């Protein structure tokens, strides 16, 4: 049984889902009431979800630069390798999709790395908003470029830099 809850962020409602092993999903809801898949039950009693909500609140308050949460995101071996590489991009910094591909040992697979980043089910915690185009421009973000820009600005501001 998967459990879910929501978190009201400054950028909109965030849906959090967890198995007994860890977070399976963190994403911005497209509507005020997010559609929930069968087999999930809403609860505020999950320690995993409560911890994720607390850490997200600290992140949006500018008091947290990294997350300490158990993850249980389903994906291929390549996707999981890309997500691990994304998780190592430092707070407030960005890398290109080409650099991301190099970091997973597939330097000619920038498009594949980009596709894997686009399938990242654990937004913010696995900070795919820190991945940009080779020319530094913002490119692709499942929750929209306005949110990507806002997340990067939040991180730049809390590091004392201008976005």
Q: What is the DSSP string of 121-152?
A: SBTTTS-GGGEE-TTS-----TT-HHHHHHHH
Residues 139 and 135: their CA atoms lie apart, in Å, by 10
Co-location of 82 and 150 in the same domain: yes
Mean pLDDT of 145-162: 86
What are 44-60's pLDDT values in tens digits?
668 999 999 999 999 99
Judging by DSSP bridges, how do beta strands 131-132 and 95-96 pair with one another?
Answer: parallel
Same domain, 56 and 107: no
Residue 142 three-state SS: coil
Residue 162 has pLDDT above 80, yes or no: no
If one counts the domains in the chain, the total is 2
Packed helices 77-87 and 110-118: angle between N→C axes, nearest 10 degrees = 80
One domain, residues 13 and 81: no
**Mean pLDDT calculated for residue range 118-132:** 96
Supply the CATH number for residue 25's domain. Answer: 3.30.160
Would you call 128 a catalytic residue per the annotation?
yes
Range of the domain at 104: 77-158
Q: How many whole angstroms separate alpha carbon 143 and alpha carbon 105?
A: 27
Does one domain contain both 152 and 81? Answer: yes
Catalytic residue among 49, 109, 128, 131: 128
DSSP label at residue 161: -
Higher local confidence (pLDDT), 87 or 163: 87
The band of 92, judged by pLDDT with boundaries at 50, 70 and 90, is: very high
- The pLDDT mean for the chain works out to 89
**Do 91 and 153 belong to one domain?**
yes
Residue-level pLDDT at 80: 96
Cα distances (Å, whole numbers) of residue 48 to 44, 65, 79? 10, 19, 23
pLDDT digits (tens, 9 = 90+) for 25-37: 999 987 654 445 5
What pLDDT sits at residue 46?
Answer: 84
């Amino acid at each position: 049984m998967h459990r879910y809850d929501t978190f009201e962020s400054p950028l909109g409602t965030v849906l959090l889902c967890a198995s007994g092993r860890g977070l399976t999903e963190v994403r911005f809801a497209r509507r005020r009431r997010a559609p929930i898949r069968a087999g999930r039950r809403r609860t505020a009693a999950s320690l995993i979800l409560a911890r994720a909500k607390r850490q997200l609140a600290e992140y949006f308050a500018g008091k947290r630069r990294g997350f300490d949460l158990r993850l249980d995101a389903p994906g291929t071996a390549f996707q999981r390798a890309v997500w691990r590489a994304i998780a190592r991009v430092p707070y407030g910094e960005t890398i290109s999709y080409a650099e991301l591909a190099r970091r997973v040992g597939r330097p000619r697979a920038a498009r594949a790395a980009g596709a894997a980043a686009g399938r990242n089910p654990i937004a913010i915690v696995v900070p795919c908003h820190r991945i940009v185009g080779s020319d530094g421009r913002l490119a692709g973000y499942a929750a929209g470029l306005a949110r990507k820009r806002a997340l990067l600005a939040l991180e730049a501001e809390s590091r004392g830099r201008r976005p």
